[in-house]
Amino acid sequence: MRRSKAAIGAALAGALALAGCGGETGRVGIASAKPAPAPSDSSTKAEAKDQPYPSTYRPYPGTPTALVGATIYDGKGGRIDKGTVLFSEGKVVAVGDALLAIPESYSRIDGTGKFVTPGVIDIHSHLGDYPSPAVAAHEDGNEMTDPTTPQVWAEHSVWPQDPGFTRALANGGVTALQILPGSGNLMGGRSVTLKNVPSRTVQGMKFPGAPYSLKMACGENPKRVYGSQGRSPMTRMGNFAVNRKTWLDAKKYAAGDRKERDLAMETLAGVLDGEILVQNHCYRADEMALVLDMAKEMGYKVTAFHHAVESYKIADLLRQANVCSAVWADWYGFKMEAYDAIPENAALIQQAGACVIIHSDDENGIQRLNQEAAKAQAAGKHIGIDIPDAQVVGWFTLNPAKAMGIDKQTGSLETGKMADVVLWNGNPLSVYSRPEKVWIDGALMFDALDPQRRPVSDFELGQPGEGDVK
């Protein structure tokens, strides 16, 4: 496993490199599929006006499909045995039990003995910004030239050909993910939320209508990066001072006429307006508590603390503040601020009634978010906290969707939502299960039983192992 860029970064390296044969006809089946219908003019104009790099993603064609006979976890805590999921035209049409009527035009897929969940969602990824291969030329996730860089946008770094996207799809059932700038800066820049669909351009992956987030970071990383250069911040108190000064500047900008373009201030004003969410890398409980007060002082809301390994110490405060904790199952001891991480963290947060999200921050971990959630569930069970499977599935579906502001569109299997669906060949909380089929907006984008439905990035063409099962 490669060292996580954002979690550890330069700590060990001591440097500033933070880290964060089908023949010619082989692909005809997919390539010749009809393109999606052109979008309506109104939506194009609206996006172009508000967003200079608008999403050009349009769902790929799918066939009306009925998944029958599987155990369904709907993502919002519900479970249906021998259930039926209907989707068509990219949307979930109905979810029900075996009695649900299936229109004749639907093709049936027998899911007996299998499981269905919403598409897996990762709220914390650096795919594309720190792509594979992890060579220096690919380090595009940390603009470590100033402790606050709210003006940078992660989408301008995303390399759509990162093979990691394909692994996340095929092995992890990931259908949507948020790409965050790294944690070298206090304010790292804007995130981008993507549909996990291969594309020539990042615009072709952008999740339509997803809000932006601002990435912020507490603790060791920013103070190390700048302190080691003899610059502020050099300490945790310096971290807060720089943040507060920047927020005061932003409040002044936001209160003005905002006519002069200022990329950094536009992002921060968006946060103060409540239109841009805040994803805050923060390990320690005491620092999270301070950040909550800073948010009150400056008039913004923290949406989620990421890498929140000490949330269990203040789970009650986090519930009161209505802030999610995006956590690993059991990463431990790799840096000082992870010394008090415990595997029961997620279960203890859940027990306190606060929001749990399982995140990856890792190109390998993103392939097994379901397994990480299962480990966190098990750790809770061993101390008497029994969290049902159906609720645990929400940790990697609906809860991240909520904290990314896309829960109206995806994250659960409900009528009218995007048909982002995974058919697993067994219980997704078992180590023995794998995604069998993955649909994104109703289009079959991965099929373990069909080598043609396995994306191969440009980078891997003509290379050893091209098109392998991986």
Partner 1 sequence: MTRLPALLAAAAALALAMPATAQDFAITHATVALGDGSEPIANATVVVRGGKVAAVGTGIAVPQGVEQIDGTGKWVTPGLFSALTDLGLYDVDAVEQSRDVSADKAIFSAALDIAPVVNPLAQNIKVSRAGGVTRASVFPRSGNAIFAGQGAVIDLGSDSEPVVKPRAFQYVELGEGGGALAGGSRTAAYVTFRNALAEAQDLAGRNGRNDDALLNRPDAAALIAVVEGRQPLYVHVERAADILAVLKLRQDFPKLDLILAGASEGWMVAKEIAAAKVPVIANALNDLPAQFEQLAATQSNVGRLHKAGVKVAIGRFFDMNQPRYAPQQAGNLVALTKLPGASGLSWGEAFAAISSIPAEISGMPGMSVLKPGATGDVVIWNGDPLELSSAPICVFVDGVEQPLESHQTKLRDRYRTPQEGALPKAYEW
Interface residues toward partner 1, by CB under 8 A? 1-4, 8, 11-12, 132-135, 163-164, 167, 171, 312-316, 330-336, 338-344, 348, 352, 362-364, 367-368, 371, 374-375, 377-379, 381-384, 425, 429-434, 448-449, 451, 459-460, 463-465, 468-470
- Give whichever of 272 and 393 is closer to partner 1, judged by the CB atom: 393
Q: Do residues 223 and 235 lie in contact, with contact meaning Cβ atoms separated by under 8 Å?
A: yes
Could you tell me the smallest distance in angstroms from the CB atom of residue 42 to partner 1? 41
- Give whichever of 100 and 378 is closer to partner 1, judged by the CB atom: 378
> Residue 469 region, left (φ>0) first, then alpha (ψ -120 to 50), else beta?
alpha
Q: Which residue has the tokens 């069998």?
A: 436
- Give whichever of 61 and 467 is closer to partner 1, judged by the CB atom: 467
Q: Is the dihedral of CA 334, 340, 343, 347 positive or negative?
A: negative
Return d(Cα 89, Cα 94) in angstroms, integer.
Answer: 12
CA-based nearest residue to 90, from 438, 455, 419: 419
- Give whichever of 38 and 449 is closer to partner 1, judged by the CB atom: 449
The two tokens of residue 380 are 């809770």
Could you tell me the smallest distance in angstroms from the CB atom of residue 55 to partner 1? 26
In the chain, what are the helix, strand and coil shares in percent, each to the nearest 5? 30, 20, 50
- Give whichever of 53 and 459 is closer to partner 1, judged by the CB atom: 459
Could you tell me the smallest distance in angstroms from the CB atom of residue 47 to partner 1? 33
Could you tell me the smallest distance in angstroms from the CB atom of residue 360 to partner 1? 12
Could you tell me the smallest distance in angstroms from the CB atom of residue 378 to partner 1? 4
DSSP 59: P
Could you tell me the smallest distance in angstroms from the CB atom of residue 125 to partner 1? 13
- Give whichever of 152 and 373 is closer to partner 1, judged by the CB atom: 373
Q: Which residue has the tokens 């800073």?
A: 294
Three-state SS at 417: coil
Helix (H) or strand (E) holding 217: strand 213-217
- Give whichever of 60 and 331 is closer to partner 1, judged by the CB atom: 331
- Give whichever of 229 and 320 is closer to partner 1, judged by the CB atom: 320
CA-based nearest residue to 121, from 438, 459, 354, 449: 438
Task: DSSP for 76-140, please give it.
Answer: SS-EEEEEEEEEETTEEEEEE-TTS---TTSEEEE-TT-EEEEPEEEEEE-TTTSPSS--GGG--
Could you tell me the smallest distance in angstroms from the CB atom of residue 303 to partner 1? 21
Return d(Cα 73, Cα 374) in angstroms, integer.
Answer: 14
Q: Do residues 331 and 310 lie in contact, with contact meaning Cβ atoms separated by under 8 Å?
A: no
Could you tell me the smallest distance in angstroms from the CB atom of residue 379 to partner 1? 8
Three-state SS at 337: helix
Q: How many CB atoms lie within 10 A of CB 293?
A: 11
Q: How many residues does the chain have?
A: 470
Q: Which residue has the tokens 């190390």?
A: 224
Side chain identity, residue 24: E
Could you tell me the smallest distance in angstroms from the CB atom of residue 154 to partner 1? 20
- Give whichever of 36 and 317 is closer to partner 1, judged by the CB atom: 317
The two tokens of residue 19 are 């880290």
Could you tell me the smallest distance in angstroms from the CB atom of residue 345 to partner 1? 9
Q: Is the dihedral of CA 137, 142, 144, 146 positive or negative?
A: positive
CA-based nearest residue to 470, from 462, 375, 460: 460
Could you tell me the smallest distance in angstroms from the CB atom of residue 89 to partner 1? 30
Return d(Cα 387, Cα 356) in angstroms, integer.
Answer: 12
From residue 352, alpha-carbon distances to 154, 312, 374 in Å are: 33, 9, 19
Q: Which residues, including other chains, have CB under 8 Å from residue 467's CB and lie 6 or more apart?
A: 451, 454, 456, 460
Bridge partners, residue 191, by sequence: none
Could you tell me the smallest distance in angstroms from the CB atom of residue 195 to partner 1? 21
- Give whichever of 283 and 300 is closer to partner 1, judged by the CB atom: 283
- Give whichever of 87 and 328 is closer to partner 1, judged by the CB atom: 328
